[in-house]
Amino acid sequence: MNRTPFLILETGQPVASLRRYGRFPHWIRVAAGLDADETVVVDVVKGDELPDHRDFAGVIISGSAAYVTDRADWSERSAHWLRAAAHENRPVFGICYGHQLLAHALGGEVAYNPAGRESGTIELALEPSAVDDPLFAGLPARFPAHATHLQTVLRAPEGAAILARSAQDNCHAFRWGQQAWGVQFHPEFATHHMRGYVRARAECISRHGGCARSVARGVSAAPLARQLLRRFVRQARNN
C-alpha cells in the first residue's frame, strides 16, 4: 500500500555515546511503528529546505541539545514554518525541543526551567483536559515517561490545553487547536537511550542537586509514553 509519508524535522543529534543506535529520526520512526519508506527526514540544522507540509500525513519534530531561546536562524525558520502548518490544521507532534519550538511558534514562552534539570524516568500526571484528548484519552492518571531537559515551556500558547505535568514541569504536554501536540518527554526513548543520557549528563545532574547513579537506577520502561507516537500516527492517518 502506498501511504502518504510523515515528515520528521531533525533538529539535532543524539549525544555521541548513543549515535551507534542511529539518529533521532530512526528512534522516532521505530517507536512510531513506521517503515522507512513512510518517512521523509529534513535536517533543518544543516539548512535542508522545508517542503510543503500539505504533502505529508503529519509532522514530527525531534529533540535537540540546542536551545530555543538562542533564536538560531534554522530554528526561527522552522518555527515560522510550523506556525503555518498548525494554523492550517496539519497534524503536528513536537518532542522535547520540538515541543518547545512549537510552543514558541504559536506564541508561548520558553525559558530555563526554574526547577532545574529534569532527567530520568519521571512520573507524568494527566490534567483533566487529557480525558477527551485524541492521543491521551484512556491512559492512566499517572504513568512513567523518559525526560532530559533544562529548558521548558513556561507559558503554553494562548488557547492551548495543558495535558500533563510532572513534579518539576507544569507543561509536559499540550494540544493547540485540534491536531498540534507538544510533549516535553521523549516517547521515542527506550531504557538504553535514557540510561545513556543520564550518563552523558551526569555532571549537569550533579550541578542541579541530583545524583546520576540514583537517577540511572530509577530508569524503567515507559511503554504508555512510547505508545503516544503510534497514537499520533493513527490519528493523522484517520484524519
Q: Point out the catalytic residue in the list 96, 127, 146, 171.
A: 96
**118: in domain:** no
Distance CA 127, CA 133 (A): 10
Q: Catalytic annotation on 186?
A: yes
The residue to which cell 484524519 is assigned: 239
Active-site option among 10, 118, 127, 188: 188
Does 69 map to a domain? yes
Q: Give the pLDDT score at 38.
A: 97
**Structural domain contains residue 81:** yes
- Number of Cβ atoms within 10 Å of the Cβ of 118: 22
Query: Is residue 82 situated within a structural domain?
Result: yes
> CA-CA distances (angstroms) from residue 199 to 17, 148, 179?
9, 11, 35
Give the count of domains, the chain.
1
Q: Does residue 211 carry a catalytic annotation?
A: no
184: its cell numbers: 516535553
Q: In the numeric block, which cell numbers belong to residue 64?
A: 535537540
pLDDT in tens, the chain (239 residues): 558 999 999 999 999 999 999 999 999 999 999 999 999 999 999 999 999 999 999 999 999 999 999 999 999 999 999 999 999 999 999 999 999 999 999 999 999 999 999 999 999 999 999 999 999 999 999 999 999 999 999 999 999 999 999 999 999 999 999 999 999 999 999 999 999 999 999 999 999 999 999 999 999 999 999 999 999 999 999 97
- Asked whether residue 204 is domain-assigned, the answer is no
Cα radius of gyration (the chain): 16
Give 98's Cβ-side CA count (13 Å radius): 27
Please tell me the predicted confidence (pLDDT) of residue 3: 86
Strands 39-43 and 6-10, bridge-based pairing: parallel
| DSSP codes of every residue in 113-162 | -TT--EEEEEEEEE-GGGTT-TTTTTS-SEEEEEEEESEEEEEPPTTPEE
Question: Alpha carbon 114 to chain centroid distance?
Answer: 20
Cα 173 to Cα 52: distance, rounded to the nearest angstrom: 26
Set 53, 146, 172, 186: catalytic member: 186
Per-residue confidence (pLDDT) for residue 2, from 0 to 100: 59
Q: Do the domain assignments include residue 170?
A: yes
Domain that holds residue 47: 6-112+151-189+223-238
What is the Cα–Cα distance from 206 to 109, expressed in whole angstroms? 27
179-210 core/surface letters (b: 16 or more CB in 10 A; e: else): bbbbbbbbbbbbeebbbbbbbbbbeebeeeeb
The three cell numbers of residue 83 are: 506556525
60: CATH: 3.40.50.880
Residues 6+ apart with CB under 8 A from 185: 96, 122, 124, 145, 146, 147, 172, 173, 222, 225
Residue 67 belongs to some domain of the structure: yes
Distance CA 51, CA 207 (A): 41
